[in-house]
Amino acid sequence: MPTPTNDVYAREVVMARVGHLIRRKQREIEQVTRILRCFFGPSSVHAPEPGRIKRIILIGPYARRNWYEDKRTIDFSDYELWIVVNHPLFKDEGCWRRARDIIRSELGDRCAVDLEVYSKSDIRIAKAERDSFILDRIEAGITLYRASRDAPLSSTERGEARP
């Protein structure tokens, strides 16, 4: 019997945030979240502050609870994740290349993962301009990770995410 934990990043807590999905989907989403957090590479750009992921949000069919998977045609919904970083420079593809490569190698063709990266200032501008495209998706999305709420990855979790 697993021991209860107070670590809000415990795998079970993250999976509970997507508890409406089948177990395999919960594990895949948790794995993608952990890989993103572990392999975000902010050192690839020169920014005035250290790079931080502020939030990871699941949007799209898996958040709206209308995902599909057809085993006969191998047709399935993509995982759509929005990542909010603390500075616009960290939206650079170089910061995410390794994470994308590891996600591709770990999950293969079992699922497709679409990542969109926004900065905190992008979100502030969307709020000021009342951009319904962005705001509606954030509102309907499921926050998988929030820096102000969730614990950092432990060394064990970082090790589990290593290829």
Query: For 83-125, what is each residue's pLDDT tens digit?
Result: 999 999 999 999 999 999 999 999 887 788 999 999 999 999 9
Q: Given this model, what pLDDT does residue 109 score?
A: 74
Q: What is the pLDDT of residues 5-26, one digit of tens each?
A: 444 456 676 777 888 888 888 8
pTM reported for the whole predicted model: 0.82
In the structure, what pLDDT confidence band is assigned to residue 63 with cuts at 50, 70 and 90? confident
**Overall size of the chain counted in residues:** 163
2 in helix, strand or coil? coil
> Residue 70 class from Cβ within 10 Å (0-12 exposed, 13-18 middle, 19+ buried)?
exposed
Phi, psi of 93 (to 5 degrees): -55, -35
Q: How many CA atoms lie within 13 A of 76 on its CB side?
A: 14
